[in-house]
């Protein structure tokens, strides 16, 4: 992470990053309008000098970036007729790197910004507008946050999509455990802080509240890795309709303590309506089920497909349905469908609607 001192040295050493502006001077810790700001810069553009005061942020996380924008806009709201050395001063944000999204956000808010790579946007109404992009991030290690949507860390996001409000971090940890997961208190706290930096969660003292569930789902989807390698036991089970087969299946699972979660049960699913073959598709953690259930794997008309894998995430937050049937959580179903083809993605939109609707009353 680049400190303010590091940034100051880069500005002094590599003034060309401000092109087409020409840097004439830069000072640290400057007082303007009764406040101490990080930098004061004097720059020239086509023969005319402009004075800026700048706030430096070592990271452009959404939370820090939004705070910087609000800080700069607060200066706009004050009397900007104050002059330094007979020149008007303008507010500016400086960060290690401005992405395309960051630049677009600054343009939307009419706030100026430079990065230490050579990208910028400068808005000085009514005559100056400079927008420069295309420079690569030279500081990718400016302490990128650990991704809260990968691996076990994603359990925090998944729990918040089931229950959007918790009164403590330990409450989230306990809920994760109750739903079949395992995550240390420290890991929960770190993931929660990362979600807060992304403006997905608001922390108020010990409390935490989900703010943007739809964006949370989208980012979970980006970090999701579909399980591709597992053994499939596929065949026909006699003895009645799918409900009867499901009852028998779960009776065996309960008595032998296997983990099982139904993904599809014919065209029936608690989260979406669609047409598919009359068969049960389920995840199970052991192939020993075949020692306790007669499955004709040679049948041309299978009505049961068991996907054998020891992956805790597919069993996490499974839901009770139709009395004794446990189904895969809506978030896991959504993520799996979104990693499929066009038809699967269309069904995923129904599941997303179910998730968002369930959150409304909480």
- Model pLDDT for residues 295-329, shown as the tens digit of each residue: 999 999 999 999 999 888 999 999 988 777 889 99
pLDDT value at position 156? 96
Q: Is 216 exposed, middle or buried (0-12, 13-18, 19+ CB in 10 A)?
A: buried
Which whole number is the average pLDDT over 98-116? 91
pLDDT value at position 167? 94
Give the CA count within 13 Å in the CB-facing half-sphere of 234.
Answer: 9
Considering all CA atoms of the chain, what is the largest pairwise distance in Å, rounded to the nearest integer? 92
To the nearest whole percent, how much of the chain has pLDDT over 90? 52
Q: 151-223, what's its fold?
A: Arc Repressor Mutant, subunit A (1.10.10)
pLDDT value at position 323? 75
- In terms of pTM, does the model score above 0.85? no
Which whole number is the average pLDDT over 253-269? 87
Lowest mean pLDDT among 199-203, 215-219, 307-311, 323-327: 323-327
pLDDT value at position 310? 85
To the nearest whole percent, how much of the chain has pLDDT over 70? 94
Helix intervals (H) in the chain: 4-13, 62-77, 100-109, 154-160, 169-178, 185-197, 213-223, 242-256, 312-315, 330-338, 342-360
The pLDDT of residue 247 is above 90: no
Q: 4-132, what's its fold?
A: Trna Endonuclease; Chain: A, domain 1 (3.40.1350)
**Residue with the larger pLDDT of the pair 126 and 33:** 126
Please tell me if the domain spanning 4-132 has the same topology as the one spanning 151-223. no
Which whole number is the average pLDDT over 236-250? 86
pLDDT value at position 78? 45
What is the C-alpha to C-alpha distance for residues 344 and 362, in angstroms, rounded to an integer? 28
Give domain limits for the chain.
Answer: 4-132, 151-223, 231-360
pLDDT digits (tens, 9 = 90+) for 110-152: 899 999 999 999 998 888 999 999 999 988 754 445 789 998 9
pLDDT value at position 56? 92
Tokens 């910028």 correspond to what residue?
Answer: 120
What is the C-alpha to C-alpha distance for residues 145 and 150, in angstroms, rounded to an integer? 12
pLDDT digits (tens, 9 = 90+) for 222-236: 989 888 788 999 999
Tokens 């806009």 correspond to what residue?
Answer: 73
pLDDT band at 28 (very low <50, low <70, confident <90, very high): confident
The pLDDT of residue 334 is above 90: yes
pLDDT digits (tens, 9 = 90+) for 47-88: 999 988 889 998 877 888 888 888 888 765 444 444 444 457
The pLDDT of residue 161 is above 80: yes
Residues contacting 240, CB < 8 A, separation 6+: none
Cβ pair 10, 104 in contact under 8 A: no
pLDDT value at position 351? 94
3-state secondary structure 56-99: ECCCCCHHHHHHHHHHHHHHHHCCCCCEECCEEEEEEEEECCCC
The pLDDT of residue 291 is above 70: yes
Phi and psi at residue 216, in whole multiples of 5°?
A: -60, -45
Angle between helices 342-360 and 213-223 (to 10 degrees): 140
């Amino acid at each position: 992470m680049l400190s303010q001192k590091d940034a100051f040295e880069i500005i002094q050493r590599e003034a060309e990053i401000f092109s087409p502006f020409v840097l004439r001077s830069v000072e640290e810790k400057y007082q303007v309008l009764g406040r101490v700001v990080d930098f004061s810069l004097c720059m020239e553009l086509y023969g005319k000098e402009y004075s800026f005061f700048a706030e430096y942020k070592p990271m452009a996380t959404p939370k820090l970036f939004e705070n910087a924008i609000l800080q700069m806009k607060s200066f706009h709201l004050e009397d900007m007729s104050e002059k330094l050395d007979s020149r008007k001063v303008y507010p500016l944000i400086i960060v290690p790197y401005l992405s395309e999204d960051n630049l677009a956000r600054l343009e939307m808010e009419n706030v100026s910004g430079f990065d230490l790579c050579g990208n910028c946007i400068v808005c000085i109404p009514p005559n100056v507008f400079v927008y420069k992009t295309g420079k690569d991030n030279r500081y990718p290690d400016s302490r990128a946050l650990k991704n809260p949507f990968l691996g076990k860390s994603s359990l925090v996001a998944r729990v918040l999509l089931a229950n959007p409000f918790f009164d403590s971090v330990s409450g989230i940890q306990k809920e994760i455990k109750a739903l079949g997961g395992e995550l240390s208190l420290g890991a929960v706290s770190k993931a929660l802080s990362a979600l807060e930096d992304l403006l997905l969660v608001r922390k108020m003292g010990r409390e935490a509240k989900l703010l943007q569930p739809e964006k949370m789902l989208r980012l979970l989807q980006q970090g999701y890795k579909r399980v591709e390698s597992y053994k499939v036991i596929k065949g026909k089970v006699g003895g009645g309709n799918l409900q009867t087969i499901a009852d028998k299946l779960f009776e065996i699972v309960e008595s032998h303590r296997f983990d099982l979660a139904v993904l599809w049960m014919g065209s029936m699913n608690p989260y979406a309506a669609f047409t598919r073959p009359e068969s049960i598709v389920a995840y199970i953690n052991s192939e020993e089920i075949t020692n306790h259930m007669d499955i004709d794997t040679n049948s041309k008309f299978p009505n049961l497909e068991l996907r054998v894998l020891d992956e805790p995430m597919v069993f996490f937050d499974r839901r009770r349905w139709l009395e004794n049937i446990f189904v895969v959580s809506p978030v896991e179903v959504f993520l799996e469908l979104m990693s499929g083809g066009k038809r699967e993605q269309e069904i995923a939109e129904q599941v997303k609607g179910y998730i968002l609707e369930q959150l409304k009353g909480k």
